[in-house]
Structure 1
Amino acid sequence: MSDTVHSLSTSGLGSKEQIRYWSDALTDLCGRFDVDPLEASALEGRISYTTVSRLKLCQIEASQHRIAHTSSKSQGSEHPFVKILFQIQGVSYFEQNGCQIQVTPGDCLAYDVSCPHTIISPSLTRHEVVIVPKELLRERGFHFAKMSACKLSARNGTGRIAHDVAHAAFDEAARLSPNSAAGVADSLIDLLLLPLREADTAFDRSGPEAMYVRAQAFIREHLRDPALCIDQISAELGCTKRYLHMLFSERGMTVGDSIWRARLQHCRQELEAHAGKTVTDVAFSWGFSSSSHFSRVFRKCYGVVPSAIHKGPHGGASDVT
């Protein structure tokens, strides 16, 4: 099963303990922040959070406060996340790189956590937040060097759909198998990026990055096809095989590497979920055509044979080692 929902609250703590506890909670989620309760004598806050595959989903409620991430505290590599924040209640004031944004209920704010920023909430606020590792977005053509904070609407259109799915994913996270969680996470990331793409924010619609994103999307859609290869991809995208080789080699891999890594990841997720399939069934369902080849590349990638993390459908040893 996927992660359970964890909750923590500052209720009952002394004022100084509340500040420290809230700062530690934020640090565990996405990085170090300074916390200031402003004019209040206490900081009443509650966070509920869970994970869906590699995404962190949070529901946050807090009394008036200010949080700040400053460049002197850490390097950007220590905050490798993008936050998608949905404002549910109250008003917040976000500032980053000289840009000030007022966020009200129904707004969605997307921003790079690694860049210094502050958020001031003068009264009680509630947020629903999706914390996305940057590496998952790079695969989809996200340009962090170009990204600036972007406010969008979650009241209608793609923004509302993205919020509805994020909310449902939080509620159902504890009941998802690892394999289902990975699929939900992939779909949720694509949904979250739809309003950003429509706003033409931080994305190129043409050029090498766009072609790479299209190639990765085609690979994901046809991953179960044993015949999936660079010839098929280049024909679909209308580019040469040499150009595809160049796009992938710039990212330290070949087209074939990308296909096998994706297949192995899905296979491992199914094996860890103890699905009612044999190891061979799992391997063949994700495009492998040889049990021995699957076992060999699986061991090379993860350091263990498939049967080491999987029991057969009847609780016995798997049929492939």
Structure 2
Amino acid sequence: MFDMVSSRSTSGFSPKKQIQAWSDTLTDLCGHFDIDPMEASSFEGRINYATIAKLKLCQIEASQHRLAHTAAQAKPGDHPYVKILFQTYGVSHFEQSGRRIELMPGDCLAYDVSCPHTIISPTLTRHEVVIVPKDVLKERGFRLAKMAACKLSARTGAGRIAHSFVHAAFDEAAKLSPNNAIWVADSLIDLLLLPLRESDAMFDCGGPEAMYVRAQLFIRENLRDPQLSIDKISAALGCTKRYLHMLFSDRGMTVSDYIRHARLQNCRQELETQAGKSITDVAFAWGFSSSSHFSRVFREYFGIVPSSIHKS
């Protein structure tokens, strides 16, 4: 298991053991790969990594090498991840399913790790990588069967914002509480998917997963509204209340549960970071209409009273 924030490198290993050490590190992260130093006498590599909820964030630096996940290695269920890779230094050549993609600093690449592929880095390269479990993407309307490697720009627009958020999330990972880590991970995933949604039809716009994502986004945007209800949500999304109930019940919760939990998470974050606000002010700001009701559901959800956080 990886710690919240840590690092590994090939430093201190003999040239014969450097490749094995690097391979072991990659296997722990997302599966086995073949590593070839391409006739170099030694291999230098370093990975700094952080775990935020279900996401793995990595900062990788490596000397020239070839990384390969071959068809012979590919087995159902292995490497169940999508990688979103930001090239920050050097040039890399990616190949998968007959497609060849050159990566320069400022480029972003999203690809299915389970499909055979190779990445050749002829000189020193640096990447920042987010490893996302496929089940997390599926919940957000991602059509796994249509996943093809996608090259995007991280120099401007949504790609640049996503990269900046990844960098900030990595730097602050060690300071996040478990509850805040979940919300940072959710926000990070949604942000990373923005440039992908803009670039290609890899998302189901009308299926239940997409409707669930739309409902989540609408709820988050309107959490402060004390009148937020399933009637408002169904009217905004153009679906029936029964259909909304089904979407959330399939995921083990009610719409009201989701709204309440989202409000409680935001309230706790404000109580932890903004000592100047009263408990009542925070509760009312996030849609609760009764301070006593807020205190009761807060204690039921977190196991502590809000005043204990406020005092600390």
For Structure 1 versus Structure 2, the TM-score category normalised by the shorter chain is: 0.7 to 0.9
Quote how far apart the aligned CAs of 1:36 are: 1.6
CA positional deviation for 1:122: 1.8
- Tell me the equivalent position of 2:31: 31
Aligned to 1:56: 56
- 1:265-304 paired onto structure 2 within 5 Å: 266=265, 289=293, 298=301
Residue correspondence of structure 1 range 4-43 to structure 2 within 5 A: 5-43=5-43
The yes-or-no answer on 1:143 pairing with 2:140 is no
Distance between the aligned counterparts of 2:137 and 2:274, measured in 1?
29
Tell me if the contact between 2:96 and 2:117 (Cα under 8 Å) persists in the aligned partners. yes
Q: 1:199-210 to 2 correspondence within 5 Å?
A: 199-210=199-210
User: Cα 1:137–1:261, aligned 2, differ >3 Å: closer, same or farther?
Assistant: farther
Q: Secondary structure at the match of 1:182?
A: helix
Aligned mates of 1:43, 1:266 — CA distance in 2: 45
8 Å contact kept, 2:58–2:130? yes
Deviations 1:238-270 (A, max 9, x none): 221233244445x45454386179549938986
Q: CA deviation at 1:192?
A: 1.4
Say which SS state the counterpart of residue 77 (structure 1) adopts: coil
- Identity %, equivalent residues: 63
Does structure 1 conserve the Cα–Cα contact (< 8 Å) formed by 2:139 and 2:209? no
* Mapped contact 2:74–2:116 kept (Cα < 8 A): no
Given that 1:62 and 1:126 are in contact with CA atoms closer than 8 Å, whether structure 2 keeps it comes out as yes
Contact between 1:230 and 1:255, CA under 8 Å: does it hold in 2? Answer: no
- Correspondence 1:81 to 2:81: yes
CA distance in 2, matches of 1:168, 1:290: 32
Q: Is structure 2 residue 101 aligned with structure 1 residue 104?
A: no
User: Normalising by the residue count of structure 1, what TM-score does the alignment of the two structures yield?
Assistant: 0.78
Distance 2:230 2:67 in 1: 48
Deviates more, 1:34-43 or 1:257-266: 257-266
Equivalent residue letter for 1:145: A
> Which residue identity does 1:259 align to in structure 2?
Y
One-letter code aligned to 1:87: Q
Q: 1:144–1:259: structure 2 CA closer, same or farther, 3 Å change rule?
A: same
Deviates most, 237-246 or 254-263: 254-263
Q: CA deviation at 1:227?
A: 5.6
**Which deviates more from structure 2 when the two are superposed, residues 107-116 or residues 162-171?**
162-171
Q: Is the 8 A contact 2:74 2:115 kept in 1?
A: no
Q: How many residue pairs align between the two structures?
A: 305
Three-state SS of the structure 1 residue aligned to 2:192 is: helix
Q: Equivalents in 1 of 2:264, 2:94: separation in Å? A: 37
Taking the TM superposition and a 5 Å limit, the aligned residue runs for 1:114-263 are 114-223=114-223, 228-248=228-248, 251-253=250-252, 255-256=254-255, 259=258, 262-263=261-262
The letter for the 1-side match of 2:10 is T
CA distance in 1, matches of 2:162, 2:96: 24
Letter in 1 for 2:136: L
For 2:141 and 2:85, how far apart are their aligned partners in 1? 20
Q: Is the 8 A contact 1:86 1:154 kept in 2?
A: yes
Q: 1:218 to 1:139 in 2, by over 3 A?
A: farther
TM-score by length of 2: 0.80
Question: For residue 301 of structure 1, what is the aligned residue in structure 2?
Answer: none
Stretches of structure 2 that go unaligned for 5 or more consecutive residues are none
Query: Distance in 1 between the 2:267 and 2:294 partners?
Result: 16
Q: Distance in 2 between matches of 1:181 and 1:124?
A: 32
1:191-216 deviation per Cα after TM superposition (whole angstroms, max 9, x unaligned): 21111111124113345443222112
Distance 1:231 1:254, change over 3 A: farther
